[in-house]
Structure 1
Amino acid sequence: MYISLIAVSGVLCSFIGIYAYFRRKEMPGASTFMIYIAVQAIYIFAYAFQLSSDTLVEIKRWTILEYIGIAFAPVLGLKLILRYIGKSVSRVLSAALFVIPVITMALVSTNDLHHLFYKSMKFREDTSLPFVEVVIGEWYIVHGIFTFSCLLAGVILLSRQWTKTKKIYRKQLATLICGQFIPMISAFVYLMGLTPGGTDPVPFMMSITSAMYIWAILTTRMLTVVPIAKESIFESMREGVIVLDSADRLIDFNGAVSRMLPRLNNGWIGKKLDDSWQQLTGSPFPDVRRPNSMQEVQITAENGAVAFYQIRSSQVRSRNGELAGSLLMLIEVTEQKLLQDQLKEMAYYDGLTKIYNRTQFIHRSKEILQQARHRSEPVSFILFDIDFFKHVNDTYGHETGDQVIIHVVNVCQQIIAPEMLFARYGGEEFVLALPSASLREAGELAERIRTKLERSPLSTKYGTIKVTSSFGAAQYSEQSDTLEALLRDSDAALYEAKRAGRNCVRLAKEIPVRLV
C-alpha cells in the first residue's frame, strides 16, 4: 500500500509537469518549474522501485537515480520561489547554488570507492520489507545542511511576502509555503529516526503537496499568474493605476495614485468611484466610461499646488468575455501642460501686455466678420496708438515706455466688454474688434477710452507722465467687406485724428450698411 501511495504521488507530479508543458507560454519561469517537477517525479518513482527491489545492488542503483531529485529539487524550488517573488540573482550565484548538488550526485554515484556519503548500507533485520539501514558519511551531513537551508530559505522568503500579498493571491502563497515546509519537516523527522520502521516519509508527503499544487492550479491559476512579481511591477509604476469592479467600485490602487491623491487609503476600497472622487478632489469624476477613452483633469492639492493628469480607461473582461471591471491609469502631464500653456501664450498673446497679439487678432477677427455676415449684424473696428510715444522712449528709456504700454492696456480693460476683441497691433498701436457694434457705438467707446486715458496720468520714478491716444474707427460695409479693408479704413481715420492734433477720435466716412 505504501508503494502504491508513493506511485500516486509520482503520477500527480507527472500530471503537473504535463500541464505546465502545455501552458508554458502563459507561465513565467515555465522551464524551471517543469525541471523542478521532473526531478521530483524521478525521486518519487525511483524510491518506489527501490522499495520493490530484492537485492542491495538494485537498491544502490535506484538510490543513485533518487538523488537526481534529492540533490537538485531544493535548489530548483528555491529558484522558482525567487522568480515568484520577483527577486533576480546573478548567473554566478545561480550556478554556485548547483555546486553542492553536483558534488552530491558524483559522490553518491561513486560511493563504493570512497564511502564519503554512506559509510555502509545493509538490509534491516527487524522488518520483512526491503528497508536499508545506512551509516551516513561526512558529505551526507554537508548535503543535509544545504538541503535544509534551501527549504528553510524558501519558507522564510515566502512568509515575508504574506502581508504584502493581496488576499485573493494568498492561497497560492500558502500552497507554495506548504510545498517547501512539509518536505522540510518530513526530512527532519526522518533524519531524527522518528518514522515508523525507518521509512522515508518525504515521497509520501509529496503526494500531499502535489495534490495541493493541483488544487491551486485549478482554483487560483497558480501557474499562470505570479502575483508577488506583478505586485512589485504594479507598485513600481510611475503611472497611477486604479482597479474597479464591474459596478465601478474601487478594489485596488497602486502607490503612485496614493501620491497623486494623498487622502486615498484602503478605507476607500469598496466605495463607488463617483462618490469617492468627488470627496478626494472636490470635482466630479470625468466621463471616461467609454472603452479606451481619455480625458485631462486638474487636481488641486491641500497645499494649493495644481497638477494635471490624463485619465485613460480600459475595460477588463473575463475569459468568457463578460465585463469584469476596468482599469484607470493616471498619467501626470503637469510639465507638458505648463509647457503647452507657455507655447500657447507665445503663439496667441503679446508677451508684454498679455492681450492678443496681431496674428491671433487677425485670425479671430475673420471669424467675427464671418459671423456678422451670417447673422446680418454690424461689426466695427477701432485702431489707436499712443501719442508721442517715441518721445517717451527717447526721454525716459524703453523700460518706462513699456510701463506706458501696460498702463494703456490696464485703462482700456477697465472699459471694454468681455466679448470685445482687444489686441496689441504692433509697437504702441492697439486694435479693438466690436461685434454687433455700429460705427457710432465704436466712436462712443473710443471717446470713453480717450477720456479715461487723458484723466489717468502714469506715475513713474521720473515723475508723472500724461498719456493720450489718437483713435480711428471703421464699420463693416459692402465697400469694406474684408478685414484688410476695414483695418485700412480705421488706419486712415487714425491718420486724420493725428492731423487734427492727436488725442481725439475720428470715424471713417459712414456708408449705409447692407450686410449680405
Structure 2
Amino acid sequence: MGSSLTMYISLVATSGVFSLFLFLYAYTKRAEMPGARTFMLYMIAQSIYIFSVAFQMVSSSLDEIMRWTIIQYIGMAPSPALGLMVVLQYIGKPVTRKMGTALFVIPAVSIIMVATNGYHHLFYKAVTVRHGSSLPYTDIVIGQFYVLSGIFTFGSMLAGVIVLARRWRHTKQNYKRQLATLITGQFLPIVAAFVYLMGLIPNGMDPVPVVICITSSMYIWAIVSTQMLTIVPIAKEMIFESMDEGVVVLDNANRLIDFNGAASRMLPPLGDGMIGLSLDEAWIRMTGSAFPLGGMSGIVQGELRWSNPNGELSYYQVRASVVRGRIGEIVGNLLMLIDVTEARRLRDQLEQLAYHDGLTKLLNRTSFFQRGKRLLNDTRINGAAASVVLFDIDYFKRINDTYGHETGDFAIKHVAAVVSRQLPPEALFARYGGEEFVICLPAGRSEAGRLAEAARAALAAEPLRANGESIVITASFGVSQSAEFDGESLPMLLKNADMALYEAKRGGRNLVRLFEEAVTV
C-alpha cells in the first residue's frame, strides 16, 4: 500500500509540474498568445489543486487534511470556469466582464463554504478518517452545496466539450489535432470525477490529478507539434470565415489548399472536393476553362468576371500576394477576391451616360465621332473601304402630334431595335440627334447600300404597336463611301450622306440613296 501511495503522489506531483510548465510557457509567450492571462490562471489553479492533493495525502490528522482541502478548493473551484473561458477564447467568442463575473460566483462561494464548513456543515455534513487503513483516506457525507458545486463543475466542463465538439465540422483538417487535444483535456477529467464519485476507484483515490497529468502531457505535445498556444486557429478561422473578402490559399505549386466562406459564396461551385487541385484544374471544373488571370509565371492581379446560373454578372477584384515561410522562402500564394460588382455597375452606368444615348442605349453623337474616326483611320491603313449611312424617321413630327411625345419616344426606340438586328457586329450605330440615326461600318458603298435597304424594308414590315394601335414607321437613308474620297474626314462623309438622305426625302421618302446618285440626279 505504501508503494501505491508513493506512486500516486509521484503521478500527482508530476501533474503539478506539468501544469506549472504550461503556466511558465504561457507567461513567456503572453505577447503573442491570445488569452494568455486566462490560460495562466487556469494552470495556476490546477497547480494549486494538484499540489494540495499531494500534501493532503501525506497529512497525519483530520485537521491537517481539512486545511489542505480548503487550499485544494482555492484551485479546484475556479478551474472549470477558467477552462470554459479558455475554450471560449479559443473559438473567438469574447468573454464579457459580466459573463466572467457570473462564472466565478459559485466557485467563490464554494471556497467560502469549504473554509467555514465547521460552522454550518452545508458543504460536508461529515468528514471522517477511514480506520484500518495505512493511507490517509477520508469518508465524506456530502451536503447541499457540495451538490451545487459539483453540478457547476460538471456543467462548465461539459459545456466546454460541447462548444469544441460543435466546431469540429467547421475546423480545417490541419487544426483538428489541436481541437481533439482540447476536447480530450475537458472530457477526461469529467469521466475521472464521475468514476470517483461513483466509488469505483480502489481505496477511494481521486483519479482527477492523475488524469490531469495525461491531459497536461497532451497539451505539451500539442504545443510542440501544432503550436497550440502560440496560435489560436479556430479564432483565426472565425476571422477568416467572417471576412467579407473571399480568400483562396494556394501552395507553392498553385494547388488549392484552403478558402473561406466568402470565397465559396462568391464562387458557388467551389467546394472541399477541389482541395488539392491546381487553380487551373479547379477553375476548369467550375467554368470549363483555365483561370483567366493566371499564366506560366504565376498569379496575375486583375478583375475577374463571374456569371451565376441566372446569367447575372459579378465582378471581383483579385489581389495576389506571396506567402513566405520563416526563413523567407515562398510557400504559397494568397488570392483575395473583393466584390466590386456595385462599383463596376456604377462605372458602367456612368460610361453609359457618357458614351451612349439615354433613350435608345445606342452610341451618342460624341462617342460616334470618336469611334468613327478610329474606324476610318483603321480602314485607310488597311487599304479597305468604309461607309457612312445616315437616316431619319419619316414624318416623325406627325407621330408626335397624333399620338403624343411618349409614343414618339417608343417610335425612336422601335427604330433603333429593328435596325440593330440588321447590322453586323463591327458596325457603329448611333443616335445622331432627334429622330436621326447614323451608321459607320467597314464596307463599300454597294454593301452599305444593301444593308440600308434591308433596314428600310425591315422597318416598313414591322409596325410599332403602342396604346393598342399599329403604327407603320418608315425611314429615308443616305449612304456615302470613304474610298472614293481619299483623305476626307468623317464630317465630310456625313455631309455627303446627308446630301444623299435629302435626295431620298425629295424622292418620296422610305427610300435609300447613295451619294453618287445624289449628285447626278
TM-score (norm 1): 0.79
Question: Who is 1:180 aligned against?
Answer: 186
| Within-5 A mapping of 1:195-274 | 195-232=201-238, 234=240, 240-255=246-261, 265-274=271-280
2:326 aligned to 296, 319, 340, which one?
319
2:303 aligned to 295, 307, 312, which one?
295
Which segment drifts farther, 44-53 or 331-340? 331-340
1:359 aligns with 2:374: no
1:346 aligns with 2:353: yes
Contact 1:384 1:494 in 2 (8 A): yes
Which segment drifts farther, 333-342 or 344-353? 333-342
The alignment's C-alpha RMSD in Å is 4.2
1:63 aligns with 2:63: no
Contact 1:121 1:133 in 2 (8 A): yes
Relative distance call for 1:311 and 1:338 in structure 2 (3 A) is closer
Contact 1:127 1:197 in 2 (8 A): no
TM-aligned CA deviation for residue 213 of structure 1? 0.6
Which segment drifts farther, 24-33 or 99-108? 24-33
1:426 aligns with 2:438: no
Contact 2:317 2:340 in 1 (8 A): no
Q: Which amino acid aligns with 1:40?
A: Q
Relative distance call for 1:246 and 1:392 in structure 2 (3 A) is same
Q: Which amino acid aligns with 1:427?
A: G
* Inter-partner Cα distance in structure 1 for 2:317 and 2:473: 53
| Within-5 A mapping of 1:108-127 | 108-119=114-125, 125-127=131-133
2:35 aligned to 23, 26, 29, which one?
29
1:204 counterpart SS class: helix
**Unmatched segments (≥5 aa) in structure 2:** 1-5
* Inter-partner Cα distance in structure 1 for 2:192 and 2:470: 98
1:24 counterpart SS class: coil
| Within-5 A mapping of 1:369-388 | 371=378, 381-388=388-395
* Inter-partner Cα distance in structure 2 for 1:291 and 1:448: 46
2:77 counterpart SS class: helix
Contact 2:16 2:50 in 1 (8 A): yes
Contact 2:84 2:159 in 1 (8 A): yes
* Inter-partner Cα distance in structure 2 for 1:463 and 1:5: 99
Question: Who is 1:79 aligned against?
Answer: 85
**Unmatched segments (≥5 aa) in structure 1:** 511-516
* Inter-partner Cα distance in structure 1 for 2:367 and 2:426: 15
1:471 counterpart SS class: strand
Question: Who is 2:397 aligned against?
Answer: 390
Contact 1:242 1:327 in 2 (8 A): yes
Contact 1:474 1:507 in 2 (8 A): no
TM-aligned CA deviation for residue 505 of structure 1? 4.7
* Inter-partner Cα distance in structure 1 for 2:203 and 2:75: 23
* Deviations, residues 31-54 of structure 1 (Å, cap 9, x unaligned): 221111111112223333444555
Percent identity over the alignment is 51
TM-aligned CA deviation for residue 161 of structure 1? 4.0
Relative distance call for 1:100 and 1:411 in structure 2 (3 A) is closer
* Inter-partner Cα distance in structure 1 for 2:263 and 2:402: 58
Q: Which amino acid aligns with 2:433?
A: G
| Within-5 A mapping of 1:499-514 | 504-506=513-515
Relative distance call for 1:460 and 1:156 in structure 2 (3 A) is closer
* Inter-partner Cα distance in structure 2 for 1:53 and 1:329: 63
1:141 aligns with 2:144: no
1:103 aligns with 2:106: no
* Inter-partner Cα distance in structure 1 for 2:249 and 2:168: 21
* Inter-partner Cα distance in structure 2 for 1:282 and 1:249: 18
Question: Who is 2:3 aligned against?
Answer: none
TM-aligned CA deviation for residue 280 of structure 1? 2.6
Relative distance call for 1:218 and 1:507 in structure 2 (3 A) is same
1:469 aligns with 2:480: no
1:44 aligns with 2:50: yes
* Inter-partner Cα distance in structure 1 for 2:240 and 2:230: 17
TM-score (norm 2): 0.78
* Inter-partner Cα distance in structure 1 for 2:247 and 2:277: 16
* Inter-partner Cα distance in structure 2 for 1:182 and 1:333: 50
Q: Which amino acid aligns with 2:25?
A: Y
1:280 aligns with 2:286: yes
Contact 2:418 2:458 in 1 (8 A): no
TM-aligned CA deviation for residue 225 of structure 1? 3.8
Contact 2:459 2:475 in 1 (8 A): no
* Inter-partner Cα distance in structure 1 for 2:378 and 2:232: 62
Work out the number of aligned pairs and report it.
504
Contact 1:443 1:506 in 2 (8 A): no
* Inter-partner Cα distance in structure 1 for 2:447 and 2:191: 99
* Inter-partner Cα distance in structure 2 for 1:456 and 1:198: 102
Contact 1:480 1:486 in 2 (8 A): no
